[in-house]
Structure 1
Amino acid sequence: MSSATTGSNDSGSVPETARVCHGDDGPAPSLAVVEAIAELVDVDPVDLSKEGVVLYEHVDPDALNALVAGRADADVDISLTVAGYDVRVGPDSAVARRARD
């Protein structure tokens, strides 16, 4: 996987959020989104589609990369919902959290 960091409410509980850095030596922004969601689902990113999560059904990955990649000095903040996960993509990371009902 990647340099994902997760946060949870209690020790031993299911993580509520996952953050994956992108750019520089990290993955492209769209791949950071996939890795963050995979971290929450607790599967390898290549197996995420088996869980019913397919990024390109929700956003064009190339367009997302074009909007965010290489703009570390810009004020970029994109929010979207992907298969029940709220995702925010900023200039240097993607953060996914379980959507609240």
Structure 2
Amino acid sequence: MSTVPAEPVGFPSTVETARVRHGDGGPSPSLAVVEAIADLADVDPADLPEKGVVLYDHVDPDALNALVAGRPDADVDVSITVADYDVRVGSDSAVARRSRD
């Protein structure tokens, strides 16, 4: 995985988050979302479906990629909920955190 150490970004500082950068030779935005969630779940991204986390059940990955990929100078901020995770996807990274109950 290409995660950056967990850090709060746009979320309260007491919340555990995982950030994965996308673009510039890295993963696509949708894959960055999957990798960030997998990092928080402490599983391999390929094992997320076994945990009940399937990105396509929550958002069209191709549409997400088209919306944010290749726009490094744009002010893009997409917020989605994927299973038990809140995710923000910006122009260069995806940040995931566990949803509050």
Asked if TM exceeds 0.5, the reply is yes
Determine if contact 1:79/1:87 at 8 Å carries over to the other structure: yes
The residue number in structure 1 matching 2:58 is 58
Instruction: Let me know the Cα RMSD of the aligned residues.
Output: 1.4
Determine if contact 2:3/2:36 at 8 Å carries over to the other structure: no
Q: How far apart are residue 48 of structure 1 and its match?
A: 0.8
The residue number in structure 2 matching 1:33 is 33
Counterpart-to-counterpart distance in 1, 2:28 and 2:68: 9
Determine if contact 1:77/1:89 at 8 Å carries over to the other structure: yes
The residue number in structure 1 matching 2:3 is 3
Q: How far apart are residue 4 of structure 1 and its match?
A: 3.5
Q: Aligned with 1:66: secondary structure?
A: helix
Counterpart-to-counterpart distance in 2, 1:95 and 1:59: 16
Identity across aligned pairs (percent)?
Answer: 76
Q: Which residue identity lines up with residue 29 of structure 2 in the other structure?
A: P
Determine if contact 2:20/2:35 at 8 Å carries over to the other structure: yes
Q: Aligned with 1:71: secondary structure?
A: coil
Q: Aligned with 1:79: secondary structure?
A: strand
Counterpart-to-counterpart distance in 2, 1:96 and 1:53: 13
Moved over 3 A (4+): none
Q: Which residue identity lines up with residue 28 of structure 1 in the other structure?
A: S
Determine if contact 1:4/1:35 at 8 Å carries over to the other structure: no
TM-score by length of 1: 0.89
Q: Which residue identity lines up with residue 47 of structure 2 in the other structure?
A: D
Deviations 1:50-85 (A, max 9, x none): 110000000000000000000010000000000010
Determine if contact 1:4/1:39 at 8 Å carries over to the other structure: no
Q: Which residue identity lines up with residue 89 of structure 1 in the other structure?
A: V
Q: How far apart are residue 49 of structure 1 and its match?
A: 0.7
